[in-house]
Amino acid sequence: MEADRVERGTRASRAFAVIAAPVLVALVTLPWWWGDPGWMRLIAEMAYYLALAQLWNLLAGYAGLVSVGQQAYVGLGGYALFYLTGPANVNLYLALLLAGPFAGLIAIPVSFAVFRLRGAYFAIGTWVVSEVFALLASLILVLGAGSGLSLTVPILRQISSDRDVRDAVLYLMSLAVAALVFAIVYLLLRSRHGLALTAIRDSEPASASLGVNTFRTKFIVYLVTAACTGLIGALIFLQKLRISPEAGFSINDWTVVVIFMVVIGGIGTLEGPFVGMLIYIMLRELLADYGTIYLILMGAIAIAVMLKAPFGIWGWVVQRYNVQLFPVGRRLVLTASKASER
Amino acid sequence: MNWLNILVQGGLLGGFYALFAIGLSMSFGIMRLVNIAHGDLIVLSAYVALIVTESTGLDPFLSTIVVVPVMFALGYALQRGLLNQTLSGGLLPPLLVTFGISIIIQNGLLQIFGAYDHRLKEGAIETASLQLPGGLAIGAYPILVFAVAVFAIASMQLLFYRTRLGRAFRAVSDDADTAELMGIDNRKLFAMALGIAMVFTALAGILFGIRTIFAPSAGPIRLILAFEAVIIGGLGSLWGTLIGGVVLGIAQTIGAALDPNWQILAGHLAFLAILVARPSGLFPRTRD
């Protein structure tokens, strides 16, 4: 006789996996069948933004750590890469591997300061920290001070001397990092910590009273997101070839836009950042010619969504159709014989 | 290094930061609203003053009679129309809505005025200074700003502790739900509170626009400075905010004396150091 079992997938998630698999294969093999550099760059950017959005969603949507200072780790990761490959003469791949842990290491002392603040004050506190890093970078001569650093051609040759190959490698790295970050976030949420995080998301006092160590859980999430953000930062600026304090620690580029995606898409869900990222990129590509008007429109959309649909587009879909493409919960499935006994 | 000079100049600079901070402190104290657009509203006030002075030929000080009511009305309308809807749903809605407002103000100003630097011209008082014995020279303008800050805080204290409206503010700050049961209309009161906060924001904006050049992107750093003054001083204490501003001003002046590039950085570091040593600030009053 079949026993009752706990199921984690849903019908929608299995159907989605079937549809998503060929899309993924097409994306990964793109350089071989359609190596257009412009498109590869756009898709790479989407991959980075998706990863940043997943991380911010993990921080703010689950752990309740509404940071507006994640640009600190983007900049730190970027600067780590440029310093290590340039002045310190380290191999490019080794430098990429070190950028994430470096950002994670810096996050430890930072957390001592900012974890003393709650709520919105935490948000602005993280912003101040990021400003400190930006100002420090603009003062340190070996980091190029205010004008920043560039990656030289010999460093890029470590990837390949052929430009097409280089483009393809950078593109594949962006997909890999997006997949890695997604896997980390997904597995973390499906683990014991994920249960704790979901509980904290729904009610922090209640989860603490049930024995969840909220401080430790948040601390782990903060460090993991910092390290991943640092790695993404290194890759973003590897593609841009130049870093400056303003570009590296830009709150608009690396945090405001990311918050926009998560909020529009649906905070506190894994699907939301996907939806938000796609909408953001589409809006941007459509409206980029309008400059400031487009940013005003973004601000207005963010306000409207927050007031009318606070859980974003995906939140609305879940409410209406109860679909989960990336299920993290557990459901008890009763076998037929037992179900008929009741 | 002339320490007396640093203390005096830094302290006076602190008056500026306290003035930036009053509106922020007030909206947090009464409705627990952290207004990310606060810095942009300061800059917006400076632009409104610019329009007034350029279209009427009024002197920037006199433009107050137009700018203050305009900003009061804007604050009242913002709270009534938008922000009141965000106050029941936790931390994110007010944060994100004010973030959206911040983006709209910045880019709206950029669209209308361009990225150029502007300035309000007040004439002789900008450069006048008092010569004190010991070779100390104090600018007349920083003294004026400091005096306005002290006056603003004193009048806020009077409002809070001597008037009916102030009593309602304190009641709502202590417990919004119970205050409502006692017949206070929170929605109107909150709108009033942001309106009054914007009166001080308007003053800060005009005085800021006379002191330095400003551009549409000048808002966020004002927000950070105001925030630092509030946190250093301790949440909910207005005189604490003044002292927080003074501490910040002195830290920045010491930094600037070492190297002009270190001014803002020194202020941030002093803020973080105080945060680690005394997380609830120097003179805390409200509980978060």
A245-261 tens-digit pLDDT: 999 999 888 998 899 89
Which residue in B111, B268, B288 is closest to A132 by CB distance?
Answer: B268
Q: Is residue B5 part of a domain?
A: no
Tell me the pLDDT band of A338, cut-offs 50, 70 and 90.
Answer: low
Closest partner residue to A66 among B95, B271, B275, by Cβ?
B95
Residue A276 has pLDDT above 60, yes or no: yes
CA distance linking residue A319 with residue A321, whole number of Å: 6
The answer for B 183-242 residues in CB contact with A (under 8 A) is: 220, 223-224, 227-228, 231
Walk me through the domains of chain A, giving residue ranges and CATH numbers.
5-335 (1.10.3470)
**The pLDDT of residue B190:** 92
Long-range CB contact pairs, B54-59, < 8 A, 24+ = B59/B122, B59/B123
Q: B122 in a domain, yes or no? A: no
Q: How many distinct structural domains can be found in chain B?
A: 1
Q: How many residues does chain B have?
A: 288
Residue with tokens 């990656």: A151
CB contact under 8 A, A306 and B100: yes
Residue B206 lies in a domain: yes
Q: What gap in Å lies between CA B230 and CA B238, rounded to an integer?
A: 8
Rounded-to-integer distance, Cα A283 and Cα A266, Å: 17
In a domain, B134, yes or no: no
B chain contacts of residue A120, beta-carbon cutoff 8 Å: 34, 91, 94-95
Would you say residue B148 lies in a domain?
yes
Give the pTM: 0.87
User: What was the pLDDT predicted at A337?
Assistant: 53
Alpha-carbon span B180 to B202, nearest angstrom? 30
pLDDT at A122: 87
Phi and psi at B134, nearest 5°, equal 90, 10
**Is B258 part of the contact surface with chain A (CB cutoff 8 Å)?**
no
Contacts with A267 from chain B: Cβ below 8 Å: 92
Q: What is the pLDDT of residue A232?
A: 96
ipTM for this model: 0.85
Asked if B93 reaches chain A (Cβ–Cβ under 8 Å), the answer is: yes
**Whole domain around residue B246: which residue ranges?**
11-115+142-277
For chain B (288 residues), the mean pLDDT of every run of 10, in chain order, is 85 93 88 89 96 91 94 96 83 86 93 90 81 81 93 92 90 85 88 95 94 92 92 82 94 92 92 83 62
- Are the CB atoms for A307 and B82 separated by under 8 Å? yes
Q: What confidence score (pLDDT) does residue A182 get? A: 92
Q: Binning pLDDT at 50, 70 and 90, where does residue A336 land?
A: low
A303 touches chain B (CB under 8 A): yes
Record: contact A296-B104, CB cut-off 8 A = yes
Beta partners for residue A243, in sequence order? A149
Please tell me the number of Cα atoms within 13 Å of B107 on its side-chain side: 18
Q: What are A125's two structure tokens?
A: 């506190």
Residue B288 lies in a domain: no
pLDDT at A342: 46
What average pLDDT does chain A have? 86
Contact A299 B101 (CB under 8 A): yes
Interface test with chain A among B103, B217, B268, by most A beta carbons within 10 Å: B103
Q: Is residue B256 assigned to a domain? A: yes
pLDDT at A313: 87
Beta carbons of B100 and A251 less than 8 Å apart:
no
Nearest CA in chain B to A109: B276
Q: What is the mean pLDDT of residues A13-32?
A: 81
**In residues, how long is chain A?**
342
Instruction: For residues A299 and A236, give the distance between their C-alpha atoms in angstroms, rounded to a whole number.
Output: 25
Q: Could you tell me how many CB contacts below 8 A there are between chain A and chain B?
A: 115
Compute the distance between CA of residue A145 and CA of residue A135 in angstroms, rounded to an integer. 9
Calculate Rg over the CA atoms of chain A: 21
DSSP B214: B
- Does the beta-carbon distance from A128 to B95 stay under 8 Å? no
pLDDT at B1: 59
Strand partners, B138: B130
Measure CB to CB from residue A306 to each of B93, B271, B272 and give the nearest one. Answer: B93
- Give the per-residue pLDDT at B17: 94
Q: Residue A201 pLDDT > 80, yes or no?
A: no
